[in-house]
Amino acid sequence: MRRIVSLVPSLTEAVAESAPGVLVGVTDWCTHPEDLGGAVRIGGTKNPDVRRIVELRPDLVIANEEENRAPDLAALRAAGVEVLVTEVRDLPQALRELDRLLVGVLGLARPGWLADAERAWAGVEPVDVRTAFVPIWRRPWMVLGRDTFAGDLLARLGIRNLYAGHPQRYPRVPVEELAAAGCDLVVLPDEPYRFTAEDGPEAFPDLPAALVSGRHLTWYGPSLAEAPAVLSQALRVAL
């Protein structure tokens, strides 16, 4: 397959690093690597331009069951486009899905960065066991709940997500409840909402705030190889 459209930033990076030149379409949120050649921007993950994608005549569109909308994927299939949908809820599943896509579907040699990621996470030593909540949005405030990839990575680093047992994966929680939850810290990624030192920590003045890289916390691709070190450092600074 030589013409790929990616609707997932993580998978865009994974394919671009492993098979340069095969991507003909990517989303507006696909920022890594910086040089994506002549790949056409086809809109967002939630609002891709289906007609433009079909016009690109891709051999395959790669998507994710959480990041992309079922009606868009159904429209692509109805137009005769093959769509591969990944499902990622934890690190082992992410590694399996990357192997399935890159080796099983695209027929590539297993990339070195994937083996590097496995080794990096196998050698993880938790920073400490601390309880935290992890906002991913504000106005309204939303946090990581159950069965999330990011939550699994944090657990491997010793961070217990207070809302890991919540019935929803991304529950809305009033800021007053978060502030009074009795956690050890708040973990603030810079995506999907861009929390910064000036936007986020002020809502929880009594808690240490760990400002972390959203790409290393939520992306499953080449960034996984350096994620343990990057995230651990951010957590140590906060603690």
Q: pLDDT by residue (tens digit) across 201-237? A: 999 999 999 999 999 999 999 999 999 999 999 998 8
The matching CATH number, chosen from 3.30.110.60, 3.40.50.1980, 3.40.50.880, 1.10.600.10, for 4-87 is 3.40.50.1980
Token pair belonging to 146: 């159950």
Q: CATH 3.40.50.1980 spans which residues of the chain?
A: 4-87, 124-238
Convert the pLDDT of each residue in 88-112 to its tens digit: 999 999 999 999 999 999 999 999 9
pLDDT for position 239:
77
Rounded-to-integer distance, Cα 130 and Cα 138, Å? 23
- Show the tokens assigned to 190: 């810079």
CA distance 49 to 8: 14
- Give the pTM: 0.92
Which pLDDT value is given to residue 173? 97
Q: What is the pLDDT of residue 128?
A: 73
Torsion of CA 135, 43, 98, 186, to 10 degrees: -10
The C-alpha atoms of residue 162 and residue 219 are separated, in whole angstroms, by: 22
124-238 is classed in which CATH architecture? 3-Layer(aba) Sandwich (3.40)
